[in-house]
Structure formats: structure tokens, C-alpha cells
Structure 1
Amino acid sequence: MSDTVRPATTERARREDIGDRKRALAQLFDRSAPTYERVGVEHFADLGRRLVAYAELTGGQRVLDVGCGTGAVLVPAARAVGERGEAIGVDISAGMVARAREELTRHGLHHARALVGDAETVALEDAPVGPGSFDAVLAGISLFFFPRPRTAVARYHRLLKPGGRIAVSWWGRPDPRWDRVFAASAPYGRGPSSHALPDDSPFRSIETFHAVLSTAGFTDVETTEEDCVTRFANREQWWSWVWSTAGRQFWETVPEESRAAAEAAVNAELAGLESPDGGLYSTSKVRFTLARRER
């Protein structure tokens, strides 16, 4: 009897674990939303514009932005498809969606919407979502956060029209000069970084992510790698930026009694990276992957 019960129990536990991870992700970005992209650092907006350029959107297209955040991809995508088109963003964080809506209103992009929902499954009540309903699916610095990226990619393939394109941006190698900064903080935190990849993540190499896309039915898969240069006026701005992003996940696990020592250890390493004017910069690799659904 135990043999017949165990699989159902295991599957239930797996679903509960995925649900817990998604709730934690939503809460993490809800905490970041008030200051996300508001500390004076040009970062995600630039990456969003680059991804939209790679996607080669045209007027009148219908576009889905998964993990839309505050609109770094959604805003330029809405501009690219114009008023004859439609851009729909979906994010699990209500706080981030509220910020994205503010941006759409500020730019007068009335043909675009940001909706709260699970970007992995894209089961939306407030927008028609069905097989072949989008010309393009965009995922800007988001897909590696999803608990089941393979499931998500297969879903996006079904949502695309024949000949439709998926465009994904994701991280390559971080700036090696900053390895010592993260090594200095590591002994103080109780949890992993929000950007730490599971062992089975398809984002561990270009080859593994291409294989996932191909398995889902995509063709013409290609990846371009570019530099992402992020500049900070000083250490204080870097700290503000970290706390405004998912990077805060690690620092929230540092016990209060260890916080001063942890910050001192990191600041000592940051001092070695400073320019003469006290500024800091990081040059990481960002990857832009494109693929098509066959016609």
C-alpha cells in the first residue's frame, strides 16, 4: 500500500514546494518594488531596450512580456508595436506590476497592460491567452528565477503564432573582479543568493538552454553575448542598489548581530575596486537568446 501512496504524496509535496517558492519570489520583489530602478543606477532599463531591439518587433504585433517587473521590457516593447499592436506584461509580484502600470501611464502607452499573474503558466483572467495568440514572447532577466523554466518555455511555444519569436535575456559570467566582494559576504548569510542557479538549471550554459528551447519545439536558436556595464557613484549607491534588487534576498538572511561585520568585510573589498573619484563599475556578460516557432 505504501508503494501506491508514495507517488501521490511526492507529487503533492513537489507542488507545495513550487507554490512556496513562487510565493517567496512574489514577496521578495514586493519588498524591492518601492526602490527598484529608483536609486540612480542605469541597469535594467538599458537591458530591456536591448532585448526589444534584438526581438525586432514591428507595428501591430501582439507581444507578451513574462516577468515584466517595473516595465523595463514592456515599455519599449509597447512603443515598438505601436497603437495598432498590444503589449501585455505579467508578473507574480503585485508591487512590481503597480510600478509597471505607473510607467505605462506616464508614457501614455494605453495599448499596453501589466497584470498580476504567474508568468510561468500565463493563465490570465483579464486577457485572452490561447494557442497562437502572440507574435512574440519576451523574458528580460527573469526566466532563470522561475521554478520550472522548461515548463514555461513549452507554454510560450504554444502561445506563439507559427513563425513567432521568443527573446530571452539572461546572465553570463559576472565580473570576475567582484568575486572577492561576494566571497567576503558569503560567511555571514544563511541563505543562497537569489541568482544562485540550481544544479539542474538550463541557464548554466548556452548549450543547455539551447537544448531546452529545441526540445520545446523552437528552431533557429541563437545567442549573442554582450557586456553589461553598471556604474555606481560610490559605495553608498551600490548598497542602495543591492537592497533595491533581488540581491537583497541574501542580505536579509544575515543576522542582525552580524550585519556590521558583514558590511565591513564587503566595504573592505569594495575599497579595492574604487576609481580615484570613489566610483565603482561592474562589467558582466549578458546573453540575448532568440528562437522561433516553426511556421
Structure 2
Amino acid sequence: MTETAASPPPATRSARTVARPATADERKAALAGLFDRSAPTYERVGVNHFADLGQRLIGHADVLPGDRILDIGCGTGAVLVPAARATGTTGSAVGVDLSAGMVARSRAALREAGLTHAHAVVADAETIDWDAQGGVHPPADGTLDVVCAGISLFFLPHPRQAVSRYRELLGPGGRLAVSWWGRPDPRWDPVFAASAPYGRGGSSHALPEDSPFRSVAALHAMLEEAGYASVETVEEPCVTRFRGPHQWWDWVWSTAGRMFWEGVPAESRERAEAAVNAELDRLRAPDGSLTSTSAVRFTVARAQRSPGSGAMR
């Protein structure tokens, strides 16, 4: 049986008209609230997406046993859990996130995996400064081996300041490993074009004109300006599958993508959903499923080693 295009289930459809925050602090507070609302269902609607990307990022970061790791925007632990497994009990892994709901999810994931040497704290991912939580203190400058940011760094209001701060925290030869989006699946352009006229609250994924995440060259330039010695980016496909439109709606409302739909006025929602469902119907395979193949980029930047410290690993 194939699934018919559907609106989001009533339990997930509470929408609000969202004013776009003006200041950096307001944007951070809005982002934390957005992910708090997503936390109960994030990665729980049957779509394997961020967990796969987190595992891949740890591979690109070349995490080794004994490494000391900081995970930026740890969310539900998609990067933090594989990072803690890779570094082992001789190392350490700490995840930071502004969303208390997401930090609770990460802590639960660590407990379930038995990873007692890893922790998650509520903290600003730009400043990496917090009061001790559960005995976990902020890292001192020059003490980290790896800083990871899985599909998160472009959310920060001041990414240039953030990567400079991470450079201070990394020891000689340390790595900053970042995953971020390349070109979305062009087949899906009509879906987003259909919804665009109805949104008022903006999108959490909208990039400012001066964002370094608009191109590989721009990101490399930002990292080099921040003092990283070498920067490399590889691009890989990210294939996401949905049983049908209903699961796609569930997934959107479980992610930061809900920000757009929370900003659709109540009087426009039925028309907006109908316009999107019409485009989703055109994308469906004979069995009713939907597939999106987007580009994901993995960038690794290395801190300069001190003279005489040996070859880079």
C-alpha cells in the first residue's frame, strides 16, 4: 500500500508567527528554544540522517584513542557518541549545546552507551565558557586534540569568532572537523519553492550574504585567517529516505526545519501544506517513498605544530 500525501499530524502542528531576532543574543535564545521544541522527536521518526553524518565526521577527524574532544552543538549525541567511542576511556569527550533539551538527549545517549568518560553541558558554543556542570569544567587553551562541529557551525551568529576560539583551545597539530551542507537535491527545489511564499519567520538554515558557508573557498579563507595551518574539504552524498510524505512531514517538524513552518500564519497553513504536498506527490517513487540526495561537506583544519614537535599524524 502506498502512502497518500498528508499534512503534519495535529500533535506537531502548533505554529506561531516568529519575529526574526535582531541581536546575536536574541538569535541564540531563539535557536535554543527551537531545538528545545525539536528535542522530543529529533532523530526519532525513523529516518537515519544525522547519526550517519556524525559517524562519518568522526572518521574524517581521524579521532584516535586518548584524544581529548570537544563537540560543538552536540544535539542528541550524533557526533558525541561515536567520538567518545573512538577516543576510548583513555581520552575524553565533552559536548556543548545551548539547548537544554538537546543536552538531556545527549546525556541519555551517553548513559545508554555506557560512555562514562564523556559528558554534555549547556553552554555557548561560540565562547566555550561555562560554570562547572557535574564536575565538568571548560577546557583550557591548548589542551584539546579535536574540535568537532556536526551540521552546526553555520547556525552560530559569529562563526569567525568561534573558529578563532577553537584554534586557541587546540594543542599543536589539533584538528577542527566540520560538516556542513553543499548543494541540496535539485529535484526538491520545487518543494521549497512551493512553501516559500507562505513563511514569515525565516529559516534556521538561511545564510547571511557574508556567510563563510556559501562556498568552500570562503570557508577555507575564514579558517586560514583564524590561524589554521592546513584546510581540506571533501564532498560526499547524503541520501535520506522517507516512507512517504507523512514521514517527511514528521521529520521536518523534528528538526530545525520546523522554524519555517512555525512562521506560517494559521490562515495560510492549509494552502501552504497543499502546495508542498502536490510537489511531494510528483517526487514519489512507485512504492510511495521519497528520496533526497544532497551534498554534505567535511572540512578538516589543522593547528600548526610547534617547531620540533614531530610530524603531523
Q: Percent same amino acid at aligned positions?
A: 68
State the shift of 1:192 in Å.
Answer: 1.8
CA distance in structure 2 between the partners assigned to 1:183 and 1:58 by the alignment = 43
Bigger fraction of residues in helix: 1
Aligned twin of 2:118: 112
Pairwise mapping of residues 91-240 of structure 1 onto structure 2 (< 5 A)? Answer: 91-126=97-132, 127-240=137-250
Q: TM-score, normalised by structure 2?
A: 0.89
Aligned twin of 1:65: 71
Aligned twin of 2:95: 89
CA distance in structure 1 between the partners assigned to 2:33 and 2:79 by the alignment = 21
**Residue 100 of structure 1 aligns to which amino acid in structure 2?**
S
Aligned twin of 1:8: none
**Residue 233 of structure 1 aligns to which amino acid in structure 2?**
R
Residue 25 of structure 1 aligns to a residue whose secondary structure is helix
Q: Which runs of 4+ in 1 moved over 3 A?
A: none
Higher RCO, Cα 8 Å, sep 6+? 2
CA distance in structure 2 between the partners assigned to 1:253 and 1:128 by the alignment = 36
Q: TM-score, normalised by structure 1?
A: 0.94
State the shift of 1:125 in Å.
Answer: 2.1
Paired residues, what number?
A: 281
State the shift of 1:124 in Å.
Answer: 2.3
CA distance in structure 1 between the partners assigned to 2:300 and 2:123 by the alignment = 24
CA distance in structure 2 between the partners assigned to 1:61 and 1:72 by the alignment = 18
CA distance in structure 1 between the partners assigned to 2:202 and 2:131 by the alignment = 34
CA distance in structure 2 between the partners assigned to 1:166 and 1:253 by the alignment = 34
CA distance in structure 2 between the partners assigned to 1:34 and 1:99 by the alignment = 8
CA distance in structure 2 between the partners assigned to 1:293 and 1:216 by the alignment = 10
Q: Is 2:285 aligned against 1:279?
A: no
CA distance in structure 1 between the partners assigned to 2:131 and 2:90 by the alignment = 22
Residue 272 of structure 1 aligns to a residue whose secondary structure is helix
Q: Is 2:259 aligned against 1:270?
A: no
Structure 1 segments unaligned to the other structure (5+ residues): 1-15
State the shift of 1:285 in Å.
Answer: 0.3
The C-alpha deviation readout for 1:202-235, integer Å capped at 9, x for no partner, is 0000000000000000012000000000000010
**Residue 64 of structure 2 aligns to which amino acid in structure 1?**
T
Residue 72 of structure 1 aligns to a residue whose secondary structure is coil
Aligned twin of 2:267: 257
CA distance in structure 2 between the partners assigned to 1:34 and 1:91 by the alignment = 15
CA distance in structure 2 between the partners assigned to 1:254 and 1:65 by the alignment = 33
**How well do the aligned residues superpose, as a CA RMSD in angstroms?**
1.0
Aligned twin of 1:46: 52
- The answer to whether the 8 Å contact 2:65/2:86 transfers is yes
